[in-house]
Amino acid sequence: MAATFKNIRSVIPLFDRVLVQRFKPETKTASGLFLPSSATSGTLPEATVIAVGPGVPDRNGKIVPPSVSAGDRVLLPSWGGNSIKVGEEEYFMFKDSDILAKIKE
């Protein structure tokens, strides 16, 4: 069920959690034609980082910040993540160590 808050910016991740929004498949071609649903279904492995937690302490008690930052474009694993619905949008919370890679074009 969708959350009662209206703005995903209200979510302040804890620990080493990373809040992301997946890329959405294009529904039109560059020239404006609608793509068939077979080309637009499925889940894209890319996401934009919305917010990150402060990190978790290592064995010496020092906080290790997450390896990604808000605004980063990242590659998600094909499993895991906790779905969060805000209005019509769906977001996911992953642990930092589950993020596979940054994407830099």
* Contact indicator for 44, 68 with CB cutoff of 8 Å: no
DSSP assignment letter at 34: B
Name the token pair of 40.
Answer: 């637009």
* DSSP assignments along 30-72, one per residue: TTSPBPPGGGT-S--SEEEEEEE---EE-TTS-EE--S--TT-
Size of the site for a second copy (CB under 8 A): 47
Q: Closest approach of Cβ 38 to a second copy, in Å?
A: 11
Q: Closest approach of Cβ 46 to a second copy, in Å?
A: 6
| Residue 36 sits in the site that holds a second copy (CB under 8 A) | no
Residues that bind a second copy (CB under 8 A): 1, 3-5, 7, 10-15, 17, 19, 23, 25, 41-46, 53, 57-62, 64, 67-68, 75, 77-78, 82-85, 93, 97, 99-105
